[in-house]
Amino acid sequence: MTVTVRSVCPYDCPDACGLLVAVENGRAVSVSGDPEHPVTRGLLCPKMKHYEQTVHSPRRLTSPLRRVGPKGVGTFEQISWDEAIAEICRRWQEIGAGYGAEAILPYSYAGTMGLVQRNAGHAFFHKLGASRLERTICSPAKDAGWKALMGDTPAMDPAEIEQSDLVILWGINAVATSIHAMRDAQNARRKGAKLWAIDTYRTPTCEAADEAFLIRPGSDGALALAMLHVIDREGLLDREFISANVLGFEELRVRILPDYSPEQVADICGLPADTIERLAREYARAEAPFIRLGSGLTRYGNGAMTVRTISCLPAVVGAWSKPGGGIFIGTATGGAFPLQTVTREDFMTELPRLVSMNQLGGALTELSGPPGMSLYVYHSNPAAIAPDQNAVIRGLEREDLFTVVHERFLTDTARYADIVLPATSSLEHPDLYRCYGSYQAQRCSAAIPPVGEAKSNWEAFSLLAAGMGWDEPFFRLSADELIELLLVEETGWRSAAVTEQLRQGIPVMLVPPTEPKKQWLTQSGKIEVLNEREAEPLPRRLATHAEHDGYPLRLQPATTPYALNSGFYEQDDLRAKQKCMELLMSRVDAEARCLADGQAVIARNDRGAVRFTLKVTDRVPTGTVVTEGVWWREFIPGGRGVNALTSQRLTDGGRGSTLYDVTVEVKGL
């Protein structure tokens, strides 16, 4: 008999789609998009169409494992959960006694976005006194840039895009990463809006746009300043809106904008001056221009400043006062549920050190006082996704590092583990989801029993707490009870009726306590183009890190529609749709190096050397090379992925990753 169960896509994507899962005899047999879900509306991305192939993949880990061979090789023996928990607790007690608990480092990110399972380890590690992980690999620079200008102003409703007459997809590959934003942008286009894409290479999103503007990596801030220069010079400002709503535009106009004429900026961006002028004019003359800003352009040494500068555009043309006008960088729904009831900061007796997840390589190889002696990885794959892969692997190879990995698959990271624990997929555990692309939220229950002996993140930490001999009742709560703790408290984001719908598994819309656009939640109550609390009081162009590196080609480690970071490589059909370790290069750059399409090449910089297959294409401008996807090392001929070239350097604001801020030289193999 087939039953259909409602669930939620757990992955790190703006949408948190509603799923309908067909279940037969405890197995998921097919998955489709929930037609009643307010964002999904029946449309699923190619990755999730066969989620059942991930859930029931023959590659799933089904029992705990103990390493028997050298680190990294992946030879293990099967052990029981009891043995695994006992061994982990014994080793941690030894390490704690010898070095102090700060020698233990948790490492997790966004394998699942569910509030309970994602944050399941916090309470445990707080009580243990372990080092704290600064979870900043994705796009904290975006938030820092927004905050510098807009303070705590909530995001506009992204659905307004359909009322816009000019939609700009700026640094976002929406066809791959935000398919519902793409659908909504196309709806706007059908109603007559113009659709532009601004990117560093010709993505599928560029193909779908009316016009695409390809610019040099990390130069968007300069482009926005030149647009502001033209808008001011040609009298296209909305003076009324500025005087009522904007602080410090005059300072920007007088002190900064004169240095950013289109002629001065053309070379920095790689766009002709007259194109920049046209962009500025058409943007300013649009009735309700809507910018959807992606995260690609934030992963640079100047990422926060880039977001802050671009976000000035809707303010100076008064776009905010029109339905459909404004800029959307993502929703912040952190206040909707009392997360501290799960994360339990109160379990910390003192504040342990903070280790940036972007600097794991350094933490495992250079840290002292105390050194990192144990790593517990859950729902993350740092050997593949973290920058500076060679440093990460040097750390993971340390014989004296006790590594535990809780995973669904034997990932690059799991291969280095001393103990591997099998994890449930999202269909096998309950959770509560919110997302960063809309105000939607949904709770779900397990749709099927666990595969093999898999346990959820929360169950693993409950067992570890018991193994440590802790008698805190908190660790004996079930995941369902934790979800109820998140729901029972009022936060001003949802009515009692909405909370009841959540309990029943119905997708709902949260409402931020203040009306979007009604006011600017900044110190001055205005949009702060001038913000003297910032190190840089006014937007101006900041250099990227890679500008000082001395290699000639900018490398873009971009995303693919057929994977999610290092996820989905377990699905054979999706893997087959991608070219493994392909490097896109312009004809000019290939000819200058006597390289031919299809040949094996090596990209190199100070941090590493990575083998690729060259694809000569007009999709990338001269001076930029691109590779898509984060491949598992078992599929990579050279054994090193693109992150062997990326660096542990941080962004200007938010201490984020700078994965796109990389230069390389490329030679034939």
Ligand X SMILES: Nc1nc2c(c(=O)[nH]1)N[C@H]1C(S)=C(S)[C@@H](COP(=O)(O)OP(=O)(O)OC[C@H]3O[C@@H](n4cnc5c(=O)[nH]c(N)nc54)[C@H](O)[C@@H]3O)O[C@H]1N2
Q: 33 pairs with which residues across the strands?
A: 19
Query: Does residue 459 contact residue 472 with C-beta atoms inside 8 Å?
Result: no
578 binds, among ligand X, Mo ion, none (CB under 5 to 8 A by kind): none
Sequence-distant (6+) residues with CB within 8 A of 532 are: none
For the CB of residue 138, give the shortest distance to Mo ion in the complex, in Å. Answer: 3
198 binds, among Mo ion, ligand X, none (CB under 5 to 8 A by kind): ligand X
For the CB of residue 173, give the shortest distance to ligand X in the complex, in Å. Answer: 4
87-126 footprint of Mo ion as x/- string (CB under 5 A): ----------------------------------------
Residue 512 DSSP SS3: coil
- Contact between 583 and Mo ion by CB under 5 A: the answer reads no
Instruction: Compare residues 138 and 174 and give the one whose CB is closer to Mo ion.
Output: 138
- Contact between 155 and Mo ion by CB under 5 A: the answer reads no
For the CB of residue 8, give the shortest distance to Mo ion in the complex, in Å. Answer: 18
Instruction: Compare residues 247 and 645 and give the one whose CB is closer to ligand X.
Output: 645
374-378 sheet: strands from edge to edge? 76-78, 65-67, 419-422, 402-407, 374-378, 104-108
Pairing of strands 440-444, 104-108: unpaired
388 binds, among ligand X, Mo ion, none (CB under 5 to 8 A by kind): none
Pairing of strands 2-8, 609-616: unpaired
Query: Does residue 410 contact residue 57 with C-beta atoms inside 8 Å?
Result: no
In 3D space, the residue among 657, 540, 565, 582 whose CA is nearest the CA of residue 225 turns out to be: 540
Instruction: Compare residues 132 and 142 and give the one whose CB is closer to ligand X.
Output: 142
242 binds, among ligand X, Mo ion, none (CB under 5 to 8 A by kind): none
For the CB of residue 653, give the shortest distance to ligand X in the complex, in Å. Answer: 16
- Contact between 603 and Mo ion by CB under 5 A: the answer reads no
Query: Does residue 607 contact residue 390 with C-beta atoms inside 8 Å?
Result: yes
Per the omega criterion (within 30 degrees of 0), is the bond before 621 cis?
A: no
Euclidean distance between the first and final Cα of the chain, in Å?
Answer: 56
- Exposure string of 556-587, with b = 16+ CB inside 10 Å and e = fewer, is bbbbbbbbbbbbbbbbeebbeebebbbbbbbe
Instruction: Compare residues 64 and 171 and give the one whose CB is closer to ligand X.
Output: 171
556 binds, among Mo ion, ligand X, none (CB under 5 to 8 A by kind): ligand X
H or E segment to which residue 403 belongs: strand 402-407
The piece of 59-67, 136-144, 550-558, 623-631 that touches Mo ion (CB under 5 A) is 136-144
For the CB of residue 659, give the shortest distance to Mo ion in the complex, in Å. Answer: 10
385 binds, among ligand X, Mo ion, none (CB under 5 to 8 A by kind): ligand X
Query: Does residue 566 contact residue 412 with C-beta atoms inside 8 Å?
Result: yes
For the CB of residue 240, give the shortest distance to ligand X in the complex, in Å. Answer: 30
For the CB of residue 448, give the shortest distance to ligand X in the complex, in Å. Answer: 14
For the CB of residue 12, give the shortest distance to Mo ion in the complex, in Å. Answer: 5
- Contact between 329 and Mo ion by CB under 5 A: the answer reads no
The piece of 138-146, 337-345, 420-428, 483-491 that touches Mo ion (CB under 5 A) is 138-146
In 3D space, the residue among 97, 510, 476, 160 whose CA is nearest the CA of residue 334 turns out to be: 510
For the CB of residue 39, give the shortest distance to Mo ion in the complex, in Å. Answer: 18
502 binds, among ligand X, Mo ion, none (CB under 5 to 8 A by kind): none
201 binds, among ligand X, Mo ion, none (CB under 5 to 8 A by kind): ligand X
For the CB of residue 482, give the shortest distance to ligand X in the complex, in Å. Answer: 14
Query: Does residue 61 contact residue 452 with C-beta atoms inside 8 Å?
Result: yes
For the CB of residue 139, give the shortest distance to Mo ion in the complex, in Å. Answer: 6
Sequence-distant (6+) residues with CB within 8 A of 486 are: 115, 116, 337, 338, 339, 341, 342, 432
Angle, vertex CA 274, rays to CA 270 and CA 279, nearest 5: 85
Distance (Å, whole) CA 322 – CA 160: 10
Residue 648 DSSP SS3: coil
- Contact between 435 and Mo ion by CB under 5 A: the answer reads no
Out of 45, 103, 116, 138, the only residue in the binding site for Mo ion (CB under 5 A) is: 138
221 binds, among Mo ion, ligand X, none (CB under 5 to 8 A by kind): none
Distance (Å, whole) CA 42 – CA 46: 13
Instruction: Compare residues 245 and 426 and give the one whose CB is closer to ligand X.
Output: 426
581 binds, among Mo ion, ligand X, none (CB under 5 to 8 A by kind): none
Task: Provide the binding-site residues for ligand X, judged by CB under 6 A.
Answer: 12-13, 109-112, 117, 137-139, 170-173, 176-177, 198-201, 203, 215, 217-218, 220, 294-297, 378-381, 385, 406-409, 411, 423-424, 457, 556-561, 563-567, 630, 642-643, 659-660
Instruction: Compare residues 64 and 248 and give the one whose CB is closer to ligand X.
Output: 64
Question: Which residue's structure tokens are 């910032």?
Answer: 534
Query: Does residue 70 contact residue 340 with C-beta atoms inside 8 Å?
Result: no
- Contact between 601 and Mo ion by CB under 5 A: the answer reads no
Instruction: Compare residues 316 and 645 and give the one whose CB is closer to ligand X.
Output: 645
Question: Which residue's structure tokens are 């982990």?
Answer: 88
Interface residue list for Mo ion (CB under 5 A): 138
